[in-house]
């Protein structure tokens, strides 16, 4: 698991048998955006479009999807 992508030494990663206290979320975000871009690029979406869309997302809960969101 990548724990600090800015490092280039052994400190960059944590092995599976080691206790992982934290990870590098920006590294995994970059990997996710790259993967989504490879799927959506044929439809005209590039990395900029994907990041713009992700910036506008909101955290939802299950009541958002019910017929009456007030319950």
Q: Give ∠ CA 37-43-49 in degrees, rounded to 5.
A: 50
5 within 8 A of 26, measured Cβ to Cβ: yes
Residue 68 has what pLDDT?
62
Q: Where are the alpha helices (DSSP H) in 1-71?
A: 25-40, 47-55
Q: Indicate the pLDDT class of residue 70, thresholds 50, 70 and 90.
A: low
23 within 8 A of 2, measured Cβ to Cβ: yes
Residue spans of the domains in the chain: they are: 10-56
Q: Indicate the pLDDT class of residue 35, thresholds 50, 70 and 90.
A: very high
Asked whether the predicted pLDDT for residue 39 surpasses 90, the reply is yes
Buried b / exposed e along 10-29 (16+ C-beta atoms within 10 A):
eeebbeeeeeeeeebeebee
Residue 59 has what pLDDT?
65
């Amino acid at each position: 698991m990548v724990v600090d992508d800015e490092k280039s030494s052994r400190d960059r990663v944590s092995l599976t048998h080691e206790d992982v206290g934290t990870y590098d979320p920006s590294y995994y975000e970059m990997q996710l955006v790259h993967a989504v871009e490879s799927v959506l690029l044929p439809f005209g979406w590039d990395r900029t479009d994907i990041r713009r869309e992700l910036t506008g997302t909101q955290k939802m809960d299950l009541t958002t999807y019910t017929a009456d969101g007030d319950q």
